[in-house]
Amino acid sequence: MKKMKKSSTKKQVKKTVSKTKTSTKKQTPASASDKSVKSVENGIKVIQYAIKNKTSISEAARKNGHGRNYVSDIKARIEKNYKSRSIKRELYNSFKSLSKTYDKTVG
């Protein structure tokens, strides 16, 4: 049997630095104001659906891909969002008016 010599080779790891730059821009997350406006607009659509189809708001929210408490959560936050100027008066009034209209049709 032949005797094998131990080799003392060291592995050298070369670190390479990539010189290519990516040109993708970072997308800024939606501000709280944008989210508030979008949620109120979606709440209006849910209430309109409920009135049109003569169904509960909870069921209308679920059929539109939201949770059953979606509109009630918006109702709880709308005053705060309006006072902090996250939503405009027209949107605030539209939501409140439509909510009252729904209450009249159900009640």
**Contact between residue 49 and residue 64 where contact means Cβ atoms under 8 Å apart:** yes
Read off the pLDDT band of 31 (50, 70, 90): confident
| CA dist., res. 67 & res. 57, Å (int) | 10
Please report whether residue 63 resides in a domain.
yes
Is the pTM higher than 0.75? The answer reads: no
pLDDT over 90 for what percent of the chain? 65
- Which is more confidently placed, 11 or 72? 72
| Residue 62 domain-assigned (yes or no) | yes
Q: How confident is the model at residue 29 (pLDDT cuts 50, 70, 90)?
A: low
Average pLDDT over residues 8-24: 47
Please give the distance of CA 34 from its chain centroid, rounded to a whole number.
10
Q: Tell me, yes or no, whether 77 lies in a domain.
A: yes
**Is the residue at 18 inside a domain?**
no
The mean pLDDT of the chain is 82
For the chain, percent of residues with pLDDT exceeding 70: 72
Range of the domain at 38: 32-106
In a domain, 53, yes or no: yes
Q: Is the pLDDT of residue 22 over 50?
A: no
Structural domain includes residue 8: no
In-domain check, residue 59: yes
Among the listed ranges 11-25, 46-60, 65-79, which one has the minimum average pLDDT value? 11-25
Split into its structural domains, the chain has a count of 1
Confidence of residue 76 (pLDDT cuts 50, 70, 90): very high
- Phi/psi of residue 73, nearest 5 degrees: -65, -40
Residue 78 lies in a domain: yes
